[in-house]
A = this chain, B = another copy of it.
Amino acid sequence: MTDVAIVGVGCTKMDEHWTKSLRDLSTEAGALAVKDAGLDGKDIQALYVGNMSSGRFIGQEHLAALAADQAGLIPIPATRCEAACASGSLAFRKACLAIKSGEYDIIMAAGGEKMTDIKGPEAIAALMGAADQEWESAIGLTFTGLYALMARAYMNTYGLTRDELSQVPIKNHFHGLKNPLAQFRFEVTAEQVARSAMIADPLRLLDCSPITDGAAAVILVSDRVADRFKNPIWVKGSGQASGTLALHDRPSLTEIPATQIAAKRAYDQAGVGPQDIEVAEVHDCFSIEEILAYEDLGFAPKGKGKDLLLNKDTWIGGRLPVNTDGGLKLGHPVGATGIKQLIEIVRQLRGDAYNQVKDPRIGLTHNIGGTGATALVHILGKER
């Protein structure tokens, strides 16, 4: 079986990019990744692009071919993958499988989203394309509303308080302070979170990831060529699973089965368990989801996720720092997010992260689409 390594990374600032189009952003990220790998564009054999909804955000489908065109990569095969907010990780996983198929040795996997070109309410409607259009969107639910249902159920079942939930954005904003690519670089206090505008009870403004423009790219290579590159970071495990699109079809609102299944597959493939993970990026689109992820990934027993926050385990300096770049809270250009997460773990394992964890050897990324109808978990390692 072919092994796959990441040998180059590139990411734009997460921001409202009023003067850059999606083609500009994706070319910027791609060029950075190619340069980081010490390659030239002509070395890239295939392009995979994760994007959720460019059709609605900017009136443009056929995005992978456009990205290849704009970056001068024609005529290489260009493939867009979509699974809502998990589109980036999905493109990455498909690129891994393409290398494992034996057909390619060097692939670029990228993700991007330009979300600010349409008005706020239109963006909210576009994002609801990730939920069940017939059963959720049509009755007026928003994504904050869906996660609010999950947060309320969790608080009722496990006794999570407002101030405990606030530890998620407090930690992630603190982590993001050092990240020059973060969209919002300021600390928040429990009082600020608790007094921020109510969006969907119990979730407040500072519980929510923002609307962001951005792009990210990585270069993947096969083990056949990996020794040409310095500091390859290896893909040890990759898991993908699906769940019901509609939240009401799930047996429980306080866990996401697709995450559990994707994690098991990734752990099994990597031959490790949750106890072996030293740094992780998890999908904190809304505060509650970071706590659910702790439990679904096996970092904490059911109902005990908050302990990792209260004990500072998942803060930088703790035993398992999570979202050391600030996570989705500090920017969530949906199609780019999964790739951005992988980049943070690559940087941690290389030893050049903005919030560097001390010498980690194994890291994990967790990226979901919608309320968890798609989940992808990747485990990266310093050693092959």
- Give the segment of A6-14, A144-152, A322-330, A367-375 that binds chain B: A367-375
A191 at the B interface (CB under 8 A): no
* CB-nearest residue of chain B to A85: B62
A205 at the B interface (CB under 8 A): no
Partner of A97, one of B98, B130, B369: B98
**A65-B83, A98-B97 known; A59+B244 contact, CB < 8 A:** no
For chain A residues 119-148, which have a beta carbon within 8 Å of chain B? Answer: 125-126, 128-134, 137
A298 at the B interface (CB under 8 A): no
**How many angstroms from the CA of A128 to the CA of B81 in the assembled complex?**
19
Q: Are B61 and A82 in contact (CB under 8 A)?
A: yes
Q: Are B77 and A79 in contact (CB under 8 A)?
A: no
Chief secondary structure at chain A's binding surface: mixed
A252 at the B interface (CB under 8 A): no
Q: Are A242 and B68 in contact (CB under 8 A)?
A: yes
A321 at the B interface (CB under 8 A): no
A94 at the B interface (CB under 8 A): yes
Residue interface mask A150-171, B partner, CB < 8 A = 1? 0000000000000000000000
A interface residues with partner B (beta carbon < 8 Å)? 1, 21, 23, 47, 52-56, 58-66, 68-69, 73-84, 90, 94, 97-98, 100-103, 125-126, 128-134, 137, 240-246, 249, 257-258, 261, 369-370, 373-374
3 smallest CB-CB distances across A and B, nearest first, come from A61-B129, A100-B101, A77-B240
